[in-house]
Amino acid sequence: MIDLSTDYLGLKLKNPLVPSASPLSRNLDTALRLEDAGAAALVMYSLFEEELQAEDAMLDRFLLHADLGHGEADSFLPNHGEFHGGLERYLSHLHQLKRRLEIPVVASLNGVSPSGWVELGRALEQAGADALELNVYHIAADSRHSCEAVEARYIELLTELRGVVSLPIAMKLSPFFSSLPHFVQQLEHAGAQGVALFNRFYQPDIDLDNLIVVDQLHLSYPDEALLRIRWLSILHGRTQLTLAATGGVHSESEALKLLLVGADVVHLASCLLQYGPDKLTEILAAMQNWMEEKEYQSVAQMKGSMSQKNLADPAAMARASYLRVLDSFSVRPGVWS
């Protein structure tokens, strides 16, 4: 029997497959189906800074009563029946998920400005979250902001959150950092327990008929896992943080590759949105088949065995492979010559 268990954010998980933040967690029945399908934990959809900022009254009330005990989660839910804001809905849904699911539930905060809103993380802790994911979805578009200032924003938010919760915190990062290993080290020093790589930025498009900018959200493709494979491979063994891969996992192939390069867990969103919870069962079974065939006893044995540090040719994950690939490019079907 293969041991699929893994450690993530100090949590012992039965396997490495974790549905990441998406609308799937909004519905209790779907969450239960994901658990039945084999999900090892569940990351909730995000609670957005903008929703919270719009609820100043709620924020004031929460901060005023921030010294509430750690008793029944119901006790900190506002009594005011007339107020049904995003925070209240989120807390009550989290509470419900925690009551009905056996797997750990990771709550997610999403925002950019270090202005106290992350202190609401304490309410998520009190509602029973097993860990928090902090997604700083920031587009660095202001030419007055240096890269140090961009990084400082993440650190400041993390420090604020660390100051109010004792839960493990995972930082969900974008791929656009000049020196990712250095930045990850800073996050570790600031009190994170994990990183989730990488956020996908949704790209605005142009409608050529009407000459307007249109928002669009495309689901991911398996090729997107390649960016994660490179960076997880580089980070594995260079940080104490636990590592989550998010982006492009559509089959056992991407999941296995990400584990081989060092992911502790593999997140799934697009493929579950496309095919539903049964897809997770299918991926898990196919992973086990492959591991049996290759005679792996456990996920632990496999994890990081092909990270950059463990490769006979570490350059394969860095610049040298670029030169080699360009050099060896030859005409093939589908390429004009």
Ligand X SMILES: Cc1cc2nc3c(=O)[nH]c(=O)nc-3n(C[C@H](O)[C@H](O)[C@H](O)COP(=O)(O)O)c2cc1C
Binding residues for ligand X (CB under 6 A): 20-23, 45-46, 108, 110, 135, 172, 200, 217, 219-220, 224, 246-249, 267-270, 273
Q: Report yes or no: 168 and 194 within 8 Å, Cβ to Cβ.
A: yes
d(CA 48, CA 277): 25
Q: Kindly tell me which of 45 and 290 has the beta carbon lying closer to ligand X.
A: 45
Residue 46 pairs in a beta bridge with 108
d(CA 112, CA 48): 9
Q: Kindly tell me which of 263 and 296 has the beta carbon lying closer to ligand X.
A: 263
**DSSP string across 91-148:** HHHHHHHHHH-SS-EEEEEE----SSGGGGHHHHHHTT-SEEEEE-------TT--HH
Residue located via tokens 């039965």:
14
Q: Kindly tell me which of 167 and 249 has the beta carbon lying closer to ligand X.
A: 249
Smallest separation, CB 153 to ligand X (Å): 17
Smallest separation, CB 154 to ligand X (Å): 14
Smallest separation, CB 274 to ligand X (Å): 9
Smallest separation, CB 19 to ligand X (Å): 8
Q: Kindly tell me which of 175 and 314 has the beta carbon lying closer to ligand X.
A: 175
Residue 44 pairs in a beta bridge with none
Smallest separation, CB 248 to ligand X (Å): 5
Residue 195 pairs in a beta bridge with 171, 243
Smallest separation, CB 142 to ligand X (Å): 22
Q: Report yes or no: 134 and 124 within 8 Å, Cβ to Cβ.
A: no
Q: Which two tokens stand for residue 186?
A: 């800073």
Smallest separation, CB 75 to ligand X (Å): 27
User: Is the bond preceding residue 198 a cis peptide, omega within 30 degrees?
Assistant: yes
**DSSP string across 259-305:** HHHT-SEEEESHHHHHH-THHHHHHHHHHHHHHHHTT--BHHHHTTT
